């Protein structure tokens, strides 16, 4: 399209260098993973703080870590290309920054884990999905480290290990956070709660079957099962001891699809027959969206422009009458007032 519209060729095909096209693809494809995973961290932070009834262990650490991931994620694309014969200096550069990007990721996971300590944890449907996000994120992240080092990537590249690692980040991690967000904000959108029983019938099979689909890929990959062969699969003869896991993955995938039926029923049934919420803030949350009418007005959301008096996660504040202080409520006498900010 770019070539047709501008008559300018970004990559000259006449030179016969497909490596240039790989750089273009991975420069887009790798940051795209972070585009999908970073919003899930925001969803989890909202639900995590609300159901532990305490602020994040370090809110700023999460914010700065996400910024760091967004920046460093733009300069690590070529760790997908160690097998192309890149020079040692270039390979070293991408190895270093691929390892560096794991630091803010681990920091975010650590903040969420430490935020559980000392909290008054409420186990509800959004929190079940949020709690499952952390170990799934850990599996997806930690299994990516060997792919970032050229020495181990030479063995694991293009095997089912890479497929398993990638899909742990893109499917279980992202989708469990998405489900958590739907269960959490559903009462604000519809004015009704989703059914608890149907939600649990959705959660437990989904959690188990996600791992049934993708964890065997890691096992097969470490046994050298490649994701594709030119010989129609004859090269898999040496890996017969783990090929039976294909049946496990296939059965788990079909059952995983069936496990979404309770969610679909719950989503539409609850919109008309779910339990009505008793207030605009049924979760006793602090963030600004819970100040809107339920359901929201539509365009504009708020009857009047709200004033923001404090940060987003003011839970269990000493001296407060309740264990949560919404952003839109003025400071009480016992609370140290903050400078109001127009939303």
SS (H, E, C) 126-167: HHHHHHHHHHHHHHHHHCCHHHHCHHHHHHHCCEHHHHHHHH
The encoded tokens of residue 35 equal: 């585009």
pLDDT at 9: 60
pLDDT at 339: 44
Q: Are 328 and 308 in contact (CB under 8 A)?
A: yes
pLDDT at 6: 67
Q: Quick one: average pLDDT of 62-70?
A: 94
Q: Quick one: average pLDDT of 44-50?
A: 95
- Residue with the bigger pLDDT between 229 and 71: it is 71
142 pLDDT exceeds 70?
Answer: yes
At the second CATH level, the architecture of 21-273 is: Up-down Bundle (1.20)
Q: How far is the C-alpha of 164 from the C-alpha of 212, rounded, in Å?
A: 11
pLDDT at 191: 94
Q: Are 186 and 277 in contact (CB under 8 A)?
A: no
Q: How far is the C-alpha of 218 from the C-alpha of 225, rounded, in Å?
A: 10
340 pLDDT exceeds 50?
Answer: no
3-class DSSP assignment, residue 192: strand
Give the model's confidence band at 343: pLDDT under 50 very low, under 70 low, under 90 confident, else very high. very low
pLDDT at 100: 93
- Residue with the bigger pLDDT between 73 and 263: it is 263
pLDDT above 70 as % of the chain: 92
pLDDT above 90 as % of the chain: 58
Counting beta carbons within 10 angstroms of the beta carbon of residue 16, is it exposed (0 to 12), middle (13 to 18) or buried (19 or more)?
A: exposed
In the chain, what are the domain boundaries?
A: 21-273, 287-343
Residue range 302-333, pLDDT digits in tens: 888 888 988 888 888 887 788 888 888 887 65
pLDDT at 11: 60
């Amino acid at each position: 399209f770019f070539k047709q519209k501008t008559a300018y060729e970004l990559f000259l095909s006449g030179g016969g260098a497909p490596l240039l096209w790989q750089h273009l693809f991975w420069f887009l494809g790798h940051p795209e993973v972070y585009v999908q995973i970073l919003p899930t961290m925001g969803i989890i932070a909202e639900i995590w703080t609300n159901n532990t009834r305490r602020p994040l262990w370090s809110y700023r650490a999460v914010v700065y870590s996400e910024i760091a991931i967004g920046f460093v994620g733009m300069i690590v694309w070529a760790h997908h290309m160690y097998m192309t014969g890149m020079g040692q200096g270039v390979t070293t550069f991408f190895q270093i920054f691929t390892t560096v990007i794991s630091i803010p990721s681990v920091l975010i996971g650590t903040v969420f884990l430490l935020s559980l300590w000392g909290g008054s944890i409420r186990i509800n449907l959004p929190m079940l999905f949020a709690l499952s996000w952390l170990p799934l994120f850990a599996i997806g992240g930690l299994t990516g480290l060997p792919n970032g080092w050229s020495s181990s990537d030479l063995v694991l590249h293009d095997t089912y290990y890479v497929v398993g690692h990638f899909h742990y980040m893109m499917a279980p991690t992202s989708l469990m956070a998405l489900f958590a967000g739907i269960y959490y904000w559903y009462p604000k959108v519809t004015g009704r709660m989703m059914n608890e029983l149907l939600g649990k019938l959705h959660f437990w099979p989904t959690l188990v079957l996600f791992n049934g689909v993708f964890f065997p890929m890691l096992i097969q990959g470490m046994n050298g099962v490649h994701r594709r062969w030119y010989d129609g699969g004859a090269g898999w003869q040496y890996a017969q001891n783990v090929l039976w896991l294909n049946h496990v993955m296939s059965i788990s995938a079909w059952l995983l699809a069936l496990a979404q039926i309770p969610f679909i029923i719950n989503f539409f049934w609850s919109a008309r027959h779910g339990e009505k919420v008793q207030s605009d803030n049924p979760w006793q949350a602090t963030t600004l969206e819970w100040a809107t009418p339920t359901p929201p007005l539509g365009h504009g959301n708020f009857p009047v422009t709200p004033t923001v008096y404090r940060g987003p996660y003011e839970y269990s504040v000493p001296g407060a009458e309740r264990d949560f202080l919404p952003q839109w409520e003025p400071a009480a006498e016992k609370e140290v007032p903050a400078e109001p900010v127009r939303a």
